[in-house]
Structure 1
Amino acid sequence: MTLTNGYEQSDREEQLHILNLPSLEAAAKKIIPTGGFGYIYGGAEDEWTLKANTQAFNHVQIVPRALANIDHPDLSTEIFGLHLDTPVMMAPAAAQGLAHAKGEVDTAKGVAAVGGLMAQSTYSSTSIADTAAAGDGAPQFFQLYMSKDWTFNASLLDEAKRAGVKAIILTVDATVDGYREEDIVNNFQFPIPMANLEKFANGDGKGQGIGEIYAAAAQKISPDDVRRIADYTDLPVIVKGIQSPADALRAIGAGAAGIYVSNHGGRQLNGGPASFDVLADIAKAVNHQVPIIFDSGVRRGSHVFKALAAGADLVALARPVIYGLALGGAQGVQSVFEALDHELAITMQLAGTKTIEDVKHAPLTHFRYDD
């Protein structure tokens, strides 16, 4: 363990032998301090939406296909002209130093090792430049939590461009902090600074709760902000936190180059629908105008398959990757993606789909089963 400001950070660096991604949670809970684990794990209020996110994948089923004359499914795909070896990406997730001393640097290394895409958060433990450098040329996106201070926003966007990120993810569903009871019970305050906030007037996040940090962020976000960021950066802007067809179309009308369907992993509006349950309707409305990224509740290769078949172009996840980071550093992150890709390849073979494009056209069926 590494001790930073009295907080114990894992410094493990080892390959993991993973039965399945859900099994990582209990193992990670044993080594991540209580407050840090609660922040990573917790959802809003009684966590109904958090739980529904994973349960919703049972609302549709994959149609098995025989005599498909395929073998060795190909998991590679493209988005915004970027070639990826997997359709699974790292979602932007804050403060990964809570799980491991090297934080996002090790996450970036692990994602790059599998030929995947890394998205780094405004509230990262490591700087934009250091996280990008750790990827050693692998593609990365930068996620922006808009500040009320445009000068600060511009400085982050400038740094992201200098670091070579390929797109900006604008999060729009976190204008206030969700009511996260884990953090309240633990009286959680970030024990380590957030590197990108060090020059911010309100401090670097250390000693603050997430509610205090969000209080400095913009509570009012409009379509004009999408246009402004796109014009300022000349990069694709992906709007994250979309949960309805109307908002998807509003974002595209404002110049969004991508839609990110997500309910923040059940951490914001509790009682809202599971992210997967709204995906198909949003994809139908978008009608291939722009790519769609999806997250919230993904834990199995079959979940990735269903999300792609329901209209996503890339599928993201965070909590299981952060658990893998705590348990094994960069190698642990790599192990998580490899385990999920292995499950996905099996599912693709049994569903008669050779490529990710085939998966996107695969039928899903809707039998209802009693609990």
Structure 2
Amino acid sequence: MTEINGYQQSDDENHIEVVDLPTLGEEAQKVIPTGGFGYISGGSENDWTEKVNQQAFTHKQIVPRVLSGVDNPSTETSLLGIDTSMPILMTPLAAHGLAHSQGEKDTAKGAAAAGTIMSSSTYSTFSIQDIAAVGNGAPQFFQLYLSKNWDINEAWLSTAVKSGVKAIILTADATVGGYREADIINNFKFPMPMANLENISKNSQNGQGTGIKEIFASAAQKITPDDIKRIADFTKLPVFVKGIQSPEDAMLAIGGGAAGVWISNHGGRQLNGGPASFDVLPAIAKAVGGRVPVIFDSGIRRGSDVFKALASGADMVAIGRPVIYGLALGGAPAVEDVFNHLNMELKTVMQLAGTKNIAEVKEALMTSFNY
């Protein structure tokens, strides 16, 4: 273990046996200190939306196909011309250092080894450039929490461009922090600095010793489609808008120049009482109509969840908490294991559903029945 300001970080580097993603949290809780685990695992208020994110996948059932002549289905796909081994990428999450001493650097290594895309957060433990440097050229995205100060935004974006990221993710659903009761109960404060905040100014707040509410206080409370265009014009990179939960916002994002729509309710960490992301996915995907890629996150835990999301209109899905739990248990090798296990489950479902590739998954038949 590594200790920083009294906080114990795992520094294990080993492969793990993944039985299923839902139980990874139970094992990781034994390794991650209470405050850090509460921050990673918790939702907002009473966690209702976080819980229904996973339950919503029971609202659709996959119709098995047994005479379709499929064997050895392929999960390879592409996003904005980026080839990946699977339709599963890393969602941006703050402060991976809460789980492991190598934080986002190990997450990036694990995602690269699995053949998929790493997304790093503005509020990462390590800097944009340090995360990019360990990826061995594998594709990475940078997620922007828009600051009220555009000089700061442009500094982060310039660094991201110079570091070779392939796209910018504008998170639009965190203009204030959700009311996260676990953090209050645990009196949680970030024990380590956030490198991107620290690099802006040595005299500014670097994240250490603060809670997420204080950090979000510097975030822009007003985000409009004009901000999408401004980011795209400045970086000359594709911009995904993350936090979309309605067809209306999807249309506004595309109208503002978004190159992709990212359907997410922040893993149930923002507006408690909002719908499960899976339940709003079909209507949003229908409104988008294939004009731009649709990425989906919030609640993915099984290969069948991935299948259902793709069959409901997503082009790729993103996962967060299970990867961080793997990171705590075994660093970069375990991150790779988490991605590969979920992809293995997806291949199994594809075989049983008679779909030989991701294009066929997107056309797969599903039915609805409330059990």
* Band of TM-score, shorter chain: over 0.9
Q: 2:313 aligned to 311, 314, 317, which one?
A: 311
User: Shift in Å at residue 363 of structure 1?
Assistant: 1.4
User: Aligned pair count?
Assistant: 369
Q: Distance in 2 between matches of 1:109 and 1:320?
A: 16
User: Shift in Å at residue 127 of structure 1?
Assistant: 0.6
The residue that corresponds to 1:74 in the other structure is 74
Give unpaired runs (5+ residues) of structure 1: none
The residue that corresponds to 2:157 in the other structure is 157
The residue that corresponds to 1:291 in the other structure is 293
The residue that corresponds to 1:41 in the other structure is 41
Q: Distance in 1 between matches of 2:5 and 2:263?
A: 36
The residue that corresponds to 1:113 in the other structure is 113
Is it true that 1:140 corresponds to 2:140 in the alignment?
yes
Q: Aligned AA for 2:100?
A: H
Q: Alpha-carbon deviations, 1:283-319, whole Å to 9, x = none?
A: 0000000000000000000000000000111100100
Is it true that 1:266 corresponds to 2:268 in the alignment?
yes
User: Shift in Å at residue 98 of structure 1?
Assistant: 0.2
The residue that corresponds to 2:322 in the other structure is 320
Mapped contact 1:202–1:216 kept (Cα < 8 A): no
The residue that corresponds to 2:369 in the other structure is 367
Q: Distance in 2 between matches of 1:347 and 1:171?
A: 31
Matches within 5 A, 1:1-371: 1-198=1-198, 199-200=200-201, 202-369=204-371
User: Shift in Å at residue 202 of structure 1?
Assistant: 3.7
User: Shift in Å at residue 368 of structure 1?
Assistant: 1.8
Q: Distance in 2 between matches of 1:219 and 1:91?
A: 22
Q: Alpha-carbon deviations, 1:64-100, whole Å to 9, x = none?
A: 0011111111010011100000110000000000000
User: Shift in Å at residue 133 of structure 1?
Assistant: 1.2
Q: Distance in 1 between matches of 2:224 and 2:340?
A: 38
Q: Distance in 1 between matches of 2:134 and 2:17?
A: 24
Give unpaired runs (5+ residues) of structure 2: none
Identity %: 63
Larger mean Cα displacement after TM superposition, 199-208 or 344-353? 199-208
Q: Aligned AA for 2:121?
A: S
Larger mean Cα displacement after TM superposition, 260-269 or 214-223? 214-223
Q: Aligned AA for 2:367?
A: T
TM-score by length of 1: 0.99
TM-score by length of 2: 0.99
Q: Alpha-carbon deviations, 1:327-354, whole Å to 9, x = none?
A: 0000110010111011000000000000
User: Shift in Å at residue 5 of structure 1?
Assistant: 1.3
Q: Secondary structure at the match of 2:207?
A: coil
Q: Secondary structure at the match of 1:238?
A: strand
Q: Distance in 2 between matches of 1:205 and 1:36?
A: 14
Q: Distance in 2 between matches of 1:23 and 1:244?
A: 31
Q: Distance in 2 between matches of 1:68 and 1:152?
A: 54
Q: Distance in 2 between matches of 1:138 and 1:358?
A: 27
Q: Distance in 2 between matches of 1:124 and 1:313?
A: 26
Q: Aligned AA for 2:213?
A: G
